[in-house]
Structure 1
């Protein structure tokens, strides 16, 4: 004959998984707490070391040093340059971070950049960038500067024509430049290509 085991009442059943561990292993809570403290201590030490590294790196850059900003893949093709060369024209400490104002050969870029987004180009700065007069530059957005740099400084225009780009309604045709791969790249019947 089978013996009937008593069914536990709802008072006897633990309400969460932590209660299960506490019932069966009271030392487990101490181990978990110590592991959590060790993990947070290690993470804080690494973060502090990383912040010190960034501050040391930011102090190395001076005004008119050559740096570059990575160009996102949507603003270029696979064969275009991946970095936009720039000069540092202003450096300002904002809280714990150091902000940099940059200028490229097409104008002064409107955004401020932190050290994480810059690539050092001091050893290989283009000569045309070194010779620009930063006092006479107009403001330009980063995307416009990327378009001008990638397209060889012809112009920053792209078109999205539905036709064959053979009339002056096409912005590229109007400016007497060829359409590029950034213009309606999925269509193949463009008459304004090289």
Structure 2
């Protein structure tokens, strides 16, 4: 009823539904049984919530129970926003009166009471998720606007690492140089030890600002000039080379009792620093990040 009253002065239209933001909710009446859509006795009061760009949730009228998920199919006349007013209808006065009557009789008391108890928590979690998505969208939009979405060959950029390719102590981005702008606008980038296998849309990378956007200062001039002869590598492989601990999934432990200053130490031999897992309490180690 709150959603009905919010929209009552001007019930939502198809255009409103198409422009809906993630997290928006609308009261509606629909029939969940596709085989009896014409049977008005089977229609029930529901709440529809947009959860992704092309995905809606259909919930019961207390918004507590998920009844089904509906896709807005691109290029088709199917989905909540496209079928609004046909198979998803804004509640009429009769529907509103029926909802009030059910509430008065206590038919929905248990569900409403449960919603009052649980809703603040669920609302907070959903709002945090929504805010996180909106914040990320703003960051990506800012990146695109900062460079006008245009990159040229030779630009130095930061490529974000997926969490599965990161370690807890290393940076979350790879510094790379744009070596090719493809026909579709995607960017091919190279690091010191190879050309990244993936290509990147402009809004997924960020350009280094001002004087720092210099491939010579970043040690990428050689990679830029010789990229066609370099091997193709993954982000994880590229991150491993610049990692202080050998990269994600790289588990070398030396267990030395000495100074770890020669190749008898497996960490020193591999060119990585000793970690806390190698030899806790060994004060002689000279290959530690704490030396």
Per the shorter chain, which TM-score range? 0.5 to 0.7
Cross-structure match for 2:205:
118
Query: Is 2:167 the partner of 1:76?
Result: yes
Q: Secondary structure at the match of 2:152?
A: coil
Cross-structure match for 2:95:
none
2-structure distance, mates of 1:75, 1:180: 16
Q: Secondary structure at the match of 2:199?
A: strand
CA root-mean-square deviation: 4.4
Q: Which runs of 5+ in 2 are unaligned?
A: 22-52, 54-136, 258-262
How many residues were matched structurally? 153
Q: Secondary structure at the match of 1:57?
A: coil
Consecutive aligned runs of 4 or more in structure 1 exceeding 6 Å deviation? 189-192
TM-superposed CA distance for 1:61, in Å, is: 0.8
Q: Secondary structure at the match of 2:250?
A: coil
Bigger relative contact order, structure 1 or 2 (CA pairs below 8 A, ≥6 apart): 1
Is the CA contact (8 Å cut-off) linking 2:215 and 2:221 kept in structure 1? Answer: yes
Q: More displaced, 85-94 or 141-150? A: 85-94
| Match of residue 172, structure 1, among 267, 270, 279 | 267
Structure (1 or 2) with the larger CA radius of gyration? 1
Q: Which runs of 5+ in 1 are unaligned?
A: 1-16
Taking structure 1 as reference, are residues 112 and 178 closer, same or farther at Cα in structure 2, changes over 3 Å only?
same
Is the CA contact (8 Å cut-off) linking 1:66 and 1:88 kept in structure 2? Answer: yes
| TM-score normalised to structure 1 length | 0.55
1-structure distance, mates of 2:271, 2:151: 41
Taking structure 1 as reference, are residues 121 and 177 closer, same or farther at Cα in structure 2, changes over 3 Å only?
closer
Is the CA contact (8 Å cut-off) linking 1:67 and 1:86 kept in structure 2? Answer: yes
TM-superposed CA distance for 1:160, in Å, is: 5.7
| TM-score normalised to structure 2 length | 0.40
